[in-house]
Amino acid sequence: MSATPDRTARLGANDIRARKGAEPIVCLTAYTTPMARLVDRHCDLLLVGDSLGMVVHGLPSTVGVTMEMMILHGQAVARGASHGCMVVDLPFGSYEQGREQAFRNAARLMAETGCQAVKLEGGRHMADTVAFLVQRGIPVMGHIGLTPQSVNTLGGYRVQGRGHHEAERLVADAVALADAGAFSVVLEKLPEMLGRRITQEIPVPTIGIGAGVDCDGQVLVVDDMLGLFADFRPKFVKRYAELAATAEAAITAYAAEVRARRFPGPEHSFGEGKPA
């Protein structure tokens, strides 16, 4: 019997947890209603990531993202999604102070967006907070490896887990999150062998982004895989389209036609007495 959930029903955290070792979990980011409608029909997980700060708002990192931004985009995605499990990131500064702060903000995110779970960054030092949230009815996705909210202490967006000590630290982080009740763990920018090892050692699904093919699922920023940024090409992103070039050509053609008074043409204009 297939472990794949019924695609006519809204998936939740328990459905994702049950996919451990089964059919790979498909996840993409979404920040708007139109994009949510496109990806929802194909994805098991929709991640409203704090990457929206960089992708949508042009911020230099995710550190400046606010709760209000996450709620606004979460509400937009919720209007376009009816199948995939929707997970919303807790932004930087909204959960690190303590578990009570984390609960207040996670509860607010769930109440105001209708999401099925929240995601937070960090390993063993966040395990107590994860357990506190899960015990109070808030499903949590963990995130270790390259944690963008900590880019200032990590020294940039570099591969994590190289070397024995760093690898063992990340394995312990993943185990601690799973033991605390996280229903899945994102592994970002790790050596492929380490991604495989963590996937084998924890009982909940791993969602890889630059962590190798052996993870239980994969996630990409949808704008990256669609090629909406012509000059941004991370090694772990496969371009499935080059929409920036297509959009540039369309905008160039539009601008030329407007300047030459070729647009609007008769077929785009209204005459006297003609129905709209």
Is residue 214 marked as binding? Answer: no
Beta strands in 34-178 (DSSP E): 45-48, 85-89, 117-119, 140-145
The DSSP 8-state label assigned to residue 264 in this structure reads: S
Contact 184, 207 (CB under 8 A): yes
Amino acid at 4: T
Is residue 94 marked as binding? Answer: no
DSSP lists the bridge partners of residue 87 as 47, 117
Q: For tokens 């394995």, what's the residue?
A: 171
The DSSP 8-state label assigned to residue 65 in this structure reads: -
Cα 181 from Cα 194, distance rounded (Å): 22
Is residue 51 marked as binding? Answer: yes
φ/ψ region of 216 (left if φ > 0, alpha if ψ in -120 to 50, else beta) reads alpha
Q: At 63, list the tokens.
A: 């550190």
Is residue 224 marked as binding? Answer: no
> Exposed, middle or buried by CB within 10 Å (0-12, 13-18, 19+), for 271?
exposed
**Catalytic residue flag (residue 23):** no
Is residue 112 marked as binding? Answer: no
Catalytic residue from among 188, 201, 242, 272: 188
Q: At 40, list the tokens.
A: 């929802």
What are the Cα distances from residue 116, in Å, to 82, 89, 122, 239? 11, 12, 20, 29
Positive/negative CA dihedral, 138, 141, 145, 150? negative
Which residues define the annotated binding site for Mg(2+)? 50, 89, 121
Which residues define the annotated binding site for 3-methyl-2-oxobutanoate? 50-51, 89, 119
Which residues define the annotated binding site? 50-51, 89, 119, 121
Active site residues: 188
